[in-house]
Amino acid sequence: MTAQKLHITCAMILSVALFAPGDIMAQRKKKNVGEEQASGIKLREAEFYFTEGEKFFILEDYAKALLYYQRTLEITPDNATVHYKVAEVLAQSNRQEDLLRASLSIESALKLEKKNKYFYLLAANIYSSLTRFDKAAEAYENLIKEVPDTEEYFYDLAAVYQYANRFEDAIKTYNRAEAVLGVTEISSVQKQRLYLQQGKIKEALAEGEKLITAFPGEERYSMGFAELLAQKNLRDEAIQHLEKFIAQNPDAGNAKMLLAGFYRDAQQEAKARPLLLSLFDDPSVEIGSKLIVMGTYNAEINQRKSRTGETDADLVSYAFSLFEKLEKNYPTESGVHIVGGDLNLAVGKARDAQKEYLKAIELGDVNFEVWENLLYLETQLDQWDAVIRHADQALEMFPNQAMIHYFSGNAHIRKRHYPEAIAALQQSKRLSAANPAVLSDINGLLGDAYHAAREYDKSDKAYEEALLLTPENTTVLNNYSYYLSLRKVNLEKAEKMASLLIKNNPENATFLDTYAWVLYVRGKFKDARKAIERAIETGKATATHFEHYGDILFQLGDVNGAVQQWEKARGMNANSEILNRKIANRKIYE
């Protein structure tokens, strides 16, 4: 329980007759004039100390407040209110010693005054702070017994029993509360929890039914009961309960949304779909619930695609029907366009997904995943200027996200902005120290950037770091071996890497071409021919493959065959000056 500050108003202080004139008059009948004067002075002194104590208490200078209250007690040791105030000051502390002193003071107050509810409440709070739940419960019991109209504190008493793990006593106390105050959400829900903790499912369900009977039209009570049924593997009963409630309360949109979820869980999609279509037009249902439903359909589309390699056309069509309703009813909600982007991304509509993500960004703050998806899409679409621009925007909000720097670095490489690419990738590397797989890819891109910038030592070092993390990183193996062959250095290593590459990817035309070219540079022309012919046989050959094939044939003495392959390359729009010279002069130019 949390401690609460209990304050006594001036009116209450007067009501307990802290310094009551009646007492002074009674004393005067028994004392002579001198004694009366001395007594009056003492009472005024006590009043002064008490007032000073109150002042410092309000100022939260508890040390001084305590001092003045204690001086008051020296004069009026039998004043219950002052004992209470001492306890209240000490209770402000978290120290065990102070709390123990507070408990003694409040006990003194209660011995002198048994009808003040604030005394009992402070006592309960102090004992709870001391984890003396037995004493806290005793304080609440005495409060309810001694002070009229305090039955509301049955709930606090029951809570104390819960903290003490006295579940049966807590249940009995909630029952006592219901006997006086009637069935309430607090008592029913808490009893449900207590029964569930004890594995008493039947009793927990009975409490839910009792609450619904007491408040038959309250939607959230029926929803809570249905959720409890579902949690206990009684989904059919949960569905029946909600169907009955909705029949009696046709405007219960949230209950309908829950029912639709249960239908989907029970594989009753034919019942869920028409219900959801109507709910997506119901303004009483919160948009958050609708977005969650859209998220589940997006996830299902992705899962099916991952499992089968294909999308379910009927499922996709229905998901778009839901999204269209969201877009129509909530056009300015960024969350709508986020789920729209996710949906289009799931079905491979890259440009539509990009459009939705950009709308979401325009309408409000979005999370990192939206920016990441946008940058991924723009990378797939080769929109390098857009990637750079949007990466810069994203970094204003997420400067420590390595992937944003990664996308930026990759785009700068494509734009031949090598210093900018290197700077971005180095930052991405610093932020990815704990992720070896990502770090390997970053080092691979750094190798590409350094190679393009002709910083070959740094390029080789970056590639080596990448392979140290993931020795079979195909992109790194391909680029590193190919660039070594272009530079005609460390060719034995280049051949080993290219050989590993095609061993793991025997039908990849690009990797076969790299292997062929490494063999070509090493003078192994016959082996190179076999490799390049395998690349062409895949049906995915490019102009570069045919040009390389021609070069290999030329080195093997087949000039006519070489020219024929070079012409194929030129026919695929590979219209370079060197290629034209090869064809015209029927010879190789290195």
Which tens digits make up the pLDDT trace of 278-304?
A: 999 999 999 999 999 999 999 999 999
Instruction: Identify the pLDDT of residue 16.
Output: 39
From 520, 527, 532, select the one nearest 568 (Cα to Cα): 532
Find the range with the poorest average confidence among 473-477, 519-523, 559-563, 570-574: 570-574
Sign of CA dihedral 270, 273, 279, 285: positive
The token duo for 318 is 């229905």
Residue 7 has pLDDT above 60, yes or no: no
How far, in Å, CA of 437 to CA of 466, rounded?
9
| CA end-to-end span of the chain | 84
Q: Which of 495, 519, 583 is nearest to 546 (CA)?
A: 583
Question: Residue 427 CB: number of other CB atoms within 10 A?
Answer: 20
What pLDDT score was predicted for residue 20? 46
Contact between 374 and 402 under an 8 Å Cβ cutoff? The reply is: no
Indicate the pLDDT class of residue 442, thresholds 50, 70 and 90: very high
| pLDDT tens for each residue of 301-355 | 999 998 988 889 999 999 999 999 999 999 999 999 999 999 999 999 999 999 9
What CA–CA distances, in Å, run from 187 to 1, 152, 156, 176, 211? Answer: 17, 11, 11, 10, 9
For 274, counting Cβ atoms within 10 Å of its Cβ (0-12 exposed, 13-18 middle, 19+ buried), the class is: exposed
In terms of Cβ atoms closer than 10 Å to its own Cβ (0-12, 13-18, 19+), residue 95 is exposed
| Spatial separation of the C-alpha atoms in residues 399 and 435, rounded to whole Å | 18
Question: Which positions ≥6 away from 585 have C-beta within 8 Å?
Answer: none
Q: Where in the chain is the domain with CATH 1.25.40.10?
A: 1-114, 380-471
pLDDT of residue 10: 38
pLDDT surpasses 50 at 22 = no
What CATH superfamily classification does 380-471 receive?
Tetratricopeptide repeat domain (1.25.40.10)
Give pLDDT, residue 589: 87
- Indicate the residue type of 313: A
pLDDT at 18 exceeding the cut of 90? no
**Residues 127, 133: contact at Cβ < 8 Å?**
yes
Output the furthest CA–CA distance in the chain (Å, rounded): 142
- Quick one: which of 116, 109, 101 has its CA closest to 73? 109
Mean pLDDT (whole number) for 132-161: 96
Segment 112-139 shows an average pLDDT of 96
Q: What is the mean pLDDT of residues 495-507?
A: 96
Torsion of CA 52, 54, 59, 65, to 10 degrees: 70
Whether the pLDDT of residue 131 is over 50: the answer is yes
Residue type, 26: A
Are the C-beta atoms of 242 and 252 separated by less than 8 Å?
Answer: no
Structure tokens at 227: 């959720």
* Average pLDDT of span 260-275: 97
Predicted local distance difference test score (pLDDT) of residue 36: 61
Write out the two tokens for 302.
């992705």
pLDDT band at 38 (very low <50, low <70, confident <90, very high): low
> How many Å apart are CA 389 and CA 400, to the nearest integer?
17
How much is the pLDDT for 451?
98
Lowest-confidence region among 19-23, 124-128, 421-425, 492-496 = 19-23
Cα–Cα nearest to 120, from 106, 134, 102, 99: 106
Q: Rounded CA gap, 3 and 125, in Å?
A: 5
Q: Can you read off the two tokens belonging to residue 559?
A: 């000039």
Q: In terms of Cα–Cα distance, which of 527, 529, 521, 471 is closest to 501?
A: 471
* For range 397-420, the mean pLDDT: 98
User: 193-207, 423-437, 505-519, 564-578: lowest mean pLDDT where?
Assistant: 564-578
**Average of per-residue pLDDT values in the chain:** 92
Non-local (6+) Cβ contacts of 33 within 8 A are: none
DSSP 8-state symbol, 364: S
Distance (Å, whole) CA 443 – CA 465: 7
- Residue type at 13 in one-letter notation: I
User: How far is it, in rounded angstroms, from Cα 555 to Cα 549?
Assistant: 10
Provide the percentage of residues in the chain whose pLDDT is more than 70.
93
Query: Do 124 and 150 form a contact (C-beta atoms < 8 A)?
Result: no
Residue 274 has pLDDT above 70, yes or no: yes
Instruction: State percent of the chain over pLDDT 90.
Output: 87
Confidence of residue 46 (pLDDT cuts 50, 70, 90): confident
User: Which pLDDT band holds residue 509 (cuts at 50, 70, 90)?
Assistant: very high
Q: Is the pLDDT of residue 40 over 80?
A: no
**Look-up of token digits 């219901």:** 178
Residue 37 identity (one-letter amino acid) = Q
Predicted confidence (pLDDT) at residue 482 exceeds the cutoff of 70: yes
Chain segment 61-91, per-residue pLDDT in tens: 999 999 989 999 999 999 999 999 999 999 9
Whether 27 shows a pLDDT value over 90: the answer reads no
Architecture, CATH, for domain 1-114: Alpha Horseshoe (1.25)
Nearest to 583 by CA among 568, 567, 569: 567
